[in-house]
Amino acid sequence: MASSLTKDPASTSGSVRTFFGHPRGLATLFMTEMWERFSFYGMRALLPLYLVSGSGLHMSATTATAVYSIYLAMVYLLAMPGGWFGDRVWGPRRTVVVAASVVMVGHLTLALPGSGSFFAGLALVALGSGLLKANISTMVGHLYDGPEDPRRDGGFTVFYMGINLGAFAAPLIIGTVGEKVNWHLGFALAAVGMGLGLVQFLIGTRHLDPRSNVVPKPLSAEERRSTLRKGLLWLVVAVVFYGVLVATDVYTLNWALVPITIAGLVIPVAVLVRIKRDRELTKTEQSKMSGYIWFFVAAAVFWMIYDQGGSTLSLFGESSTTNSLLGLHFPTSWYQTINPVIIMALAPVVAWIWLALNRRGKEPSTVVKFGSGLFLVGVSFLVFMLPLTMTSDGDKVSPMWLVSIYFLQTVGELCLSPVGLSVTTKMAPAKYGSQMMGVWFLAVTAGDCTTSLLSLAGVDLNKTGVVGLEAALAIVAGISIWMYRKKVSQLMGDVR
């Protein structure tokens, strides 16, 4: 990456080095996120395949989809307490160090054989990833001179490239080893990736903004005691409850999956209501939160469909595509490289287009970008209905069908996701800081828990009728966002 570090032309001394024209600390966060995503997406590519495999846990497709969706939902749900730890306990920088260590231990636990160690490792990875996500995004925001810094959106797009560089390499390395050699060796490679990310972060912390090492609103001694008491109480309740279920031989996997799914739907709503009703917020902050709810709902619908790329579409690829292109036969996990490849190809182009249009005063508003993302992810599932129909009698189709679906979803993601991260930091009430990044990730939780709820109810998401309904929901939501764009823009105030 050394060749990408250049002198900042805006510096009067000419001695300040930058990362693609952005603060040098972005390189540290870029590389940390890249390695964390390498570990995360490698395990993610293997997860649904391992769950249904005869050499894995041998689950049904619906149960595997539910487990996969709940796992993703918990990663993003735990971003909320992750932001809280960054705001109130450790500060963003220390929280990231703790989080990366937990993720590494989680992947090592996944590398051990047995269903017990598997679910324990899954829980640790979800916990660590949740702690890391909100705080590292907040530190990206710290690198810029407030919401009006013109480099800000571009900085988040460059950061997003780090995510996808790791996501691209992971299925090719971790996925191949896991599918072709040994599942647990693949999980162990994910731990190595996170370890490299942690070492790089510790070396590069000197380039980060000093604010990342500050606890914005430390807990008082009484708050610490109260939080500890409540945490221990809930832990004891959970241990006793599930201990009784196991002792009486009543426990099944659904006793864990169903409560988590319901919590993943209820908690996002409760958090939004709590923030919206906070009387300490100014009138302007209240208005921005009202506008933000529109983005939240739109994002939840988007991620409900988009995240099925690793479950519904992956399982379809395993059972109903030839997994062969131009004479090359490849593992199913390689489908997960399509999204990051397209992002790495198109993200710089999209970022350049936004900046060019901005200079001319013609850049689409955030509302329009969100509506476009929803519309495209809906169209992708309309396309998915075609290969589903073609394989209804047991035939297999070309992998190019999945490539086209992933392409549409990725273009939609580029319209919605980087902009969503940026607008969240811009619209966040001052009181909440890192926690608002957690709120943004709760939209993913709500979307994935909806998918999990459908799977737990026995709905086969690889049926044309269900896929068609999801497509219609996204398209209608996208059109609705576009129709009410002026109202949402008014609620956003000075944020564009």
436, 425 in Cβ contact below 8 A?
Answer: yes
pTM given for the model: 0.85
pLDDT at 289 over 80: yes
Strand (E) or helix (H) holding 325? strand 324-325
Would you place residue 10 in the very low, low, confident or very high pLDDT band (cuts 50, 70, 90)? very low
The arithmetic mean of pLDDT across residues 252-278, rounded, is 89
CA 192, 197, 198 angle in degrees (round to 5)?
Answer: 95
Residue 148 three-state SS: coil
Which tens digit of pLDDT belongs to each residue from 187-233? 999 999 999 999 989 998 888 888 888 888 888 889 889 989 998 99
Which tens digit of pLDDT belongs to each residue from 311-369? 999 999 999 999 998 888 999 999 999 988 998 888 778 878 878 888 888 878 778 88
Which tens digit of pLDDT belongs to each residue from 445-455? 999 999 999 99
Which one-letter DSSP state was computed for residue 494?
T
Sorted by sequence, the CB contacts under 8 Å of residue 100 that are 6+ apart come out as 32, 36, 128, 132, 194, 197, 198, 201
- What's the pLDDT at 64? 92
> What is the spatial distance between Cα 39 and Cα 60, in angstroms, rounded to a whole number?
25
Higher pLDDT, 15 or 98: 98
315, 61 in Cβ contact below 8 A?
Answer: yes
Q: What is the DSSP string of 158-202?
A: HHHHHHHHHHHHHIIIIIHHHHHT-HHHHHHHHHHHHHHHHHHHH
Q: What is the DSSP string of 35-53?
A: HHHHHHHHHHHHHHHHHHS
Strand partners, 225: none
- Mean of per-residue pLDDT scores for the chain: 86
pLDDT at 105 over 50: yes
